[in-house]
Structure 1
Amino acid sequence: MADRNDTTRAGRITALVIAGVGLFWIAATALGSALEWSQRTRALFDLAALAGFGWAIWMIYGIWRQRRNDRDG
């Protein structure tokens, strides 16, 4: 039962990471447009968002592996 709770908690954290990165990206894009940031600065925030989404994908992969190992074992 503890494994299922851990998986559920990890899924919730992953969902929060995805939502947080998405909101951060929208805010950075809006601020960049409003404050007329350079393309280089906007690209930095785009890369930060891309890294956040990549981390979320890695977390999803870890959850998938954990569920698969729990099912097999």
Structure 2
Amino acid sequence: MALPDPEMERQLARQARLVAFVIAGTMLLWMGAQWVGGEMGLEPRYAILFDFAALAAFFWALVVTYQIWRKRQG
């Protein structure tokens, strides 16, 4: 088995950190948007927009996590 390339390991670690920040930030922003929307009495359709935006961010994080996993397998 070949030794791992240090540059590739740094790149994968950078991507993993980015995914972690996106997941944490999305969750905080989504929770904040739900709370602010409830306090301000916004219509439910705006809550759905926030939900879809959070789902898109989580889907992106899932895809990038899968790509990182596949690169580490190879």
TM-score, length basis structure 2: 0.89
Amino acid at match of 1:28: A
CA distance in 2: counterparts of 1:68 and 1:60, whole angstroms: 12
Pick from 42, 46, 55: which aligns with 1:50? Answer: 55
Amino acid at match of 2:14: R
Report the alpha carbon displacement of residue 34 of structure 1 after superposing the two structures with TM: 0.5
Pick from 27, 43, 50: which aligns with 1:22? Answer: 27
CA distance in 2: counterparts of 1:59 and 1:34, whole angstroms: 34
Structure with larger RCO (C-alpha < 8 A, sep 6+): 1
1:33 is matched with 38
**Where does the alignment leave 5 or more consecutive residues of structure 2 unmatched?**
1-5
Tell me how many residue pairs correspond in the alignment.
69
Amino acid at match of 1:43: I
Report the alpha carbon displacement of residue 66 of structure 1 after superposing the two structures with TM: 1.0
Amino acid at match of 1:58: V
Amino acid at match of 1:54: F
Amino acid at match of 1:65: R
Identity value in percent: 39
Amino acid at match of 2:29: F
